[in-house]
Amino acid sequence: MSPARVDAHQHFWELARGDYAWLTPELEPLYRDFGPADLEPLLRQADIEGTVLVQAAPTLAETRYLLEIAARTPWVAGVVGWVDLAARDVGEQLEGFSDALALRGIRPMLQDLPDPDWILRPEVTRGLREVEARGLRFDALIRPEHLSRLPWLVERHPELRIVIDHAAKPEIEKGGFEPWARELARVARGTGICCKLSGLVTEAGAGWSVEALRRYVDLLLESFGPERLLWGSDWPVVETARGFREWRRATEILLEPLAAHERAAILGGSAVEFYALEITEELGE
């Protein structure tokens, strides 16, 4: 039996909820509601059986909202939510979600914080120990300048499973490769951290090409290997860079040289293992 196909990174939001500070009317075509009915046809076409739904607002209300969606959407296999890792009551916040079987991880929006060392602050270290103790995963939403902090994070939290979102957002559109490539490879070699093969087309801009992406994907494959790479659509953000279907097609081209079992790992198996997912049912026709 082949591993399930999984989209390891997608979002939903409702504008009326009002806690998406980054989501403004200027961000067309993203400035509207996106829910399961919008994504499901794309998943069917790509034969994807389950998804990981990731937070898009730094609030507890966002986590509750996503868990409610997961409870009524069988193909949402896991949720990566948000809690205030610097708060003294972070343990109580996490306990408030202890009955939510879909909660698989926590993600602070590190890329938006002014202090690149925030994740190493003592109060955050205390919060991460609460996450670690519960067996939850940690999604690192970072940029290249944060990569040097990750080995320190691993040293402090050796049992915390960590995945880098969007390959740490290399500046592909500007041709930026170093020092991103060197720092990412160093993290991959020195730790057991995983990485999401996602978000690259957004960083490359609407005029991206498969060839423009190739050296970045090759670096990820060489550094992490298929068993530590998780494919994600980053839907609906990907719609600003020619969309889900084009990114999925580009992925198939870029992974074509790999063996079948290696492609299967990246396209689902690695996500199932990392997030301890249970894919309960396939999307029907």
Band of residue 284 on the pLDDT scale cut at 50, 70, 90: very low
| Rounded Cα gap, residues 260 and 256, in angstroms | 9
pLDDT, one tens digit per residue, over 50-81 is 999 999 999 999 999 999 999 999 999 999 99
Domain-located, residue 284: no
Asked if the model's pLDDT at residue 274 lies above 60, the reply is: yes
Asked if the model's pLDDT at residue 88 lies above 70, the reply is: yes
pLDDT, one tens digit per residue, over 154-166 is 999 999 999 999 9
213-217: long-range pairs with CB below 8 Å, 24+: 213/172, 213/250, 213/254, 214/254, 215/177, 216/167, 216/170, 216/172, 216/177, 217/254, 217/255
CA distances from 87 to 92, 111, 127 (A): 10, 19, 7
pLDDT, one tens digit per residue, over 168-193 is 999 999 999 999 999 999 999 999 99
Asked if the model's pLDDT at residue 277 lies above 70, the reply is: yes
Domain-located, residue 280: no
pLDDT of residue 272: 98
Relative to beta strand 229-231, strand 6-10 is: unpaired
Domain-located, residue 51: yes
| Domain span at 170 | 6-275
Domain-located, residue 90: yes
pLDDT of residue 3: 79
| Rounded Cα gap, residues 244 and 44, in angstroms | 12
Domain-located, residue 1: no
pLDDT of residue 280: 75
Q: Per-residue pLDDT averaged across 247-274, rounded? A: 98
Domain-located, residue 112: yes
Q: Containing H/E element for 53? A: strand 50-54
* CATH of residue 154: 3.20.20.140
Domain-located, residue 209: yes
Asked if the model's pLDDT at residue 281 lies above 70, the reply is: no
Band of residue 285 on the pLDDT scale cut at 50, 70, 90: very low
Q: Which of 277 and 3 is assigned the larger pLDDT?
A: 277
| Rounded Cα gap, residues 53 and 9, in angstroms | 6
Asked if the model's pLDDT at residue 247 lies above 90, the reply is: yes
Band of residue 283 on the pLDDT scale cut at 50, 70, 90: low
pLDDT, one tens digit per residue, over 220-237 is 999 999 999 999 999 999
| Rounded Cα gap, residues 145 and 142, in angstroms | 8
| Rounded Cα gap, residues 272 and 270, in angstroms | 5
Q: Per-residue pLDDT averaged across 269-276, rounded? A: 98
Domain-located, residue 285: no
Average pLDDT over all residues of the chain? 96
Q: How many domains does the chain have?
A: 1
Q: What percent of the chain has pLDDT over 70?
A: 98
